[in-house]
Structure 1
Amino acid sequence: MSRFQALSPASRAIVLMIAAIFCFTAMDATAKALTPRVGLVPTLWARYAGQTLVVLVMVAHRMPGILKTRYPKLQAMRSAFLLVATGCFFVGIANIGLAQATAIMDVNPVLITLGAALFLKERLGPRRLFGIVAALIGAMIVIRPGGDVFSPYAIFPLVAAACYSGYALATRFVGRDEDVWTSLLYTGLFGSVVLSILLPGAWVRPDAQSLALMGTLILFGTLSQLLLIKALSQGEAGLIAPFAYAGLIFASIWGMIFFDEFPDLWTIIGALVIAGAGIYVWHRETRA
């Protein structure tokens, strides 16, 4: 038995979540580099169509059984949530710093915690309520509405966080009964169909560097979704959600290395408030 398999289900879920967040931030950095070269719709199309193609190749031997789902409407809804979340976030990172956008996006764990209590009947105690309020305050520190440095594009990661929370909760629900590959296939298939309809009017012929970026986007996009689905199928949404804050570290590193972006003091303070709130909730709840 491998060391990973020897871990408890909760520990495996945490490891899978951190790996998923690493891949998500790598995908985001790739999308930030690709979007100015080919545009938003082709970037999104490469992300979804590539994932769908990879998954179809990997599950071809299980067709058509892998297409069977007990929750067709819920699968469509979770896919729509993720498509809107991805689109909004890509718009955000194309116009503001990667670390800033990620910090705003990282209010989603507390939104997931709230949604898990409302819709999945998971616990919601005073500590989690405190975490929700504190994280939202942190988001306002990063966004600074009404301030001199406020950008309307900062709203897009916030909308993305809300939509992503809906996706994660729906994934958690269907993950109890559905095959991981079924959920992964439907996630990409819905976005591929919608974006393929929009693509002809937005297509820009990619050069060699853009093609390489598209390939990287496909790789990290597919890995991130698979790891996330596996994590949510093995652990409570409220337990693993705080580990999404590892993305603040990864995004800051990508931003500094590839885009010469250094988060300002208020972004760092807001990010620390958001991360601190989530980690506090996780620590207190797991001790309890």
Structure 2
Amino acid sequence: MKGPALLLAGIVLFSVNDANSKLLSGHYGIGQVIFLRYVMLLPAFLAARALLAGFGRPGFGGPLATRHPWLQAFRACSMMVSAAGFFLGFRHLPLAEGYLVFFTAPLLTLVLAAAFLREPVPRIAWVWCLVGFGGVLLSVAPKLGGGGGPAVGYLAVLAGTVAFAVNQTLNRRLRAEPGLVGVILWPSLVGLVLFGPMAAADWAPAPPGDILRMLANGALAGGAVICTAAAYRASDAARLGPWGFAALPVSVAFDLAIWDRWPDAATLLGGAVVVGACLMSERARRRALAQAIPAGKAWVPSAPSGKATTLRTAESGKAP
């Protein structure tokens, strides 16, 4: 359960970050909000690294060098697209509706993991993720006819979701390079470079409370990224995919608590479909795993390349 637990923690942190950003998006531009996120995140990481080095634990976060600079750069850029997509999307959409589009991420991640990482994906996982995708379409389709803000919001969240799926796939591809440098330091530097000029162009005076909320997004986003990256290092994409649907009740709770907005019938129906698909996928996965693994064997990842998974005898002689 380590992987799912980490992913659920990341989802909660992402949801708090998105709710805070939605509140800010009505008054401030994307450049200012996201730039201040990294103004907070980068010094916090460097301060933690220096502080621990002073206590005899140098190198917090992992080595600065990488054997895959282009993959690291691609991962950092995918994180920027994801941050921008969700910020712009939630400006026009309730959180619950935006997260229904985000629920296509498990399907996209399965496709990317199978295509580029050669990870084995149980057939039943494909089926139930497709059912979940159908639930998203059931909710979104009736709201696209009028165009305007909702359509722009859905497109922005979809772009953020695709970038998120790419990021999660790259996290697994780069899991041989442990540490936080790749998911905190380099993306923060890229974020400052990309969003700094945008912040200068659309900067709006803000009271200290709003500045603190923008800076708080750095801590929230950093924690969420760390949790999700660790989750995809601990478990395969098929195992984690259905757990992403936990964002639905979290987003509904925020819509009700902050904006006093209850999801409409289409959102509830689509949400019911994707949650049902989540539960059935997990049940089917457990059943298939129990039938496929002989007694005394454990399912473990193969070498860090992520190209396959294998069976090996557990030292304890017990199956997980």
Query: Does TM-score exceed 0.5, indicating one fold?
Result: yes
Aligned 8 A contact 1:104 1:142 in 2: no
- Whose radius of gyration is greater, 1 or 2? 2
Q: 1 CA distance for matches of 2:102 and 2:2?
A: 24
Question: 2:130 maps to what in 1?
Answer: 133
Question: The residue matched to 1:205 in structure 2 has which SS?
Answer: coil
Q: Which amino acid aligns with 1:205?
A: P
Question: Which protein has greater RCO, CA pairs closer than 8 Å, 6+ apart?
Answer: 1
Structure 2-normalised TM-score?
0.81
Any idea what the Cα deviations from partners look like across 1:197-240, whole Å, max 9, x if unmatched?
Answer: 32211211221231131133122111111111221221212212
Preserved CA contact (<8 Å) 1:40 1:91: yes
**Is it true that 1:156 corresponds to 2:146 in the alignment?**
no
Indicate if the aligned counterparts of 1:68 and 1:182 stay in contact, CA closer than 8 A: no
1:202 aligns with 2:229: no
Quote the Cα distance in structure 2 between the aligned partners of 1:81 and 1:47.
Answer: 16
- Asked if 1 retains the 8 angstrom alpha-carbon contact of 2:113 and 2:237, the reply is yes
Distance, in Å, in 2 between the alignment partners of 1:147 and 1:63 is 50
Distance 1:147 1:195 in 2: 30
1:148 CA drift (Å): 5.2
Q: Partners of 2:3 and 2:26 in 1: how far apart?
A: 35
Q: 1:190 maps to which residue?
A: 190
Task: For 2:178, give the aligned amino acid.
Answer: E
SS of equivalent to 1:37: coil
Secondary structure at the residue paired with 1:121? coil
1:169 to partner: Cα distance: 0.3
Distance 2:42 2:283 in 1: 37
- Distance in 1 (alpha carbons) for counterparts of 2:75 and 2:250: 26
Question: What is the rounded CA distance, in whole Å, between the counterparts of 1:176 and 1:110 in structure 2?
Answer: 24
Paired residues, number:
278
Residue 247 of structure 2 aligns to a residue whose secondary structure is helix
Offset of residue 91 of structure 1: 0.8
Residues 245-269 of structure 1: CA deviation (Å, up to 9, x unaligned): 1111111111111122211010111
Q: Taking structure 1 as the reference length, what is the TM-score of the superposition? A: 0.89
Aligned with 2:90 (options 89, 93, 97):
93
Instruction: List alignment gaps of at least 5 residues for structure 1.
Output: 1-10
Q: Is the 8 A contact 1:136 1:274 kept in 2?
A: yes
Map of 2:317 onto structure 1:
none
Q: SS at the partner of 2:11? A: helix
Deviates more, 1:100-109 or 1:178-187: 178-187
The answer for the alignment partner of 1:229 in structure 2 is 229
Q: How far apart, in 2, do the equivalents of 1:105 and 1:32 lie?
A: 16
Residue 274 in structure 1 maps to residue 274 in structure 2: yes
- Does the 8 Å CA contact 1:109/1:278 hold for their aligned counterparts? no
Amino acid of the residue matched to residue 98 of structure 1? L
Residue 5 of structure 2 is matched in structure 1 by: 15
CA RMSD of aligned residues (A): 2.0
Unaligned 5+ segments in structure 2 are: 289-320
Q: State the partner residue of 2:255.
A: 255
Contact 2:66/2:177 (<8 A) preserved: no
**What amino acid is the match of 1:203?**
W
Deviation, structure 1 residue 149: 6.2
Contact 1:82 1:163 in 2 (8 A): yes
Give 2:33's aligned amino acid: T
- Say whether 1:75 aligns with 2:72: yes
Question: Where does residue 103 of structure 2 map in the other structure?
Answer: 106
Specify the code of the residue in structure 1 equivalent to 2:36: A
Judging by fraction of residues, say which structure has more helix.
1
Aligned-partner Cα distance in 2 for 1:177–1:212: 33
Please give the alpha-carbon distance, in whole angstroms, between the structure 1 residues aligned to 2:243 and 2:167.
17
Q: State how far apart, in whole Å, the 1-side matches of 2:134 and 2:287 are.
A: 25
Q: Deviations over 1:84-115 (max 9, x none)?
A: 11111111111111111011112101211221
* Farther off after superposition, 90-99 or 150-159: 150-159
Question: C-alpha distance in 1, partners of 2:269/2:165?
Answer: 23
Matched, 1:24 2:14: yes
Name the SS of the counterpart of 1:123 in structure 2: coil
Determine if contact 2:6/2:230 at 8 Å carries over to the other structure.
yes
Q: Is the 8 A contact 2:104 2:161 kept in 1?
A: yes
> For residues 130 and 245 of structure 2, what CA distance do their matches in structure 1 show?
16
Letter in 1 for 2:287: R
- 1:147 to partner: Cα distance: 5.2
- Find the partner of 2:37 among 35, 38, 47: 47
Retained in 1: the 8 A contact 2:78–2:166?
Answer: yes
Which secondary structure does the structure 2 equivalent of 1:144 belong to?
helix
Deviates more, 1:78-87 or 1:204-213: 204-213
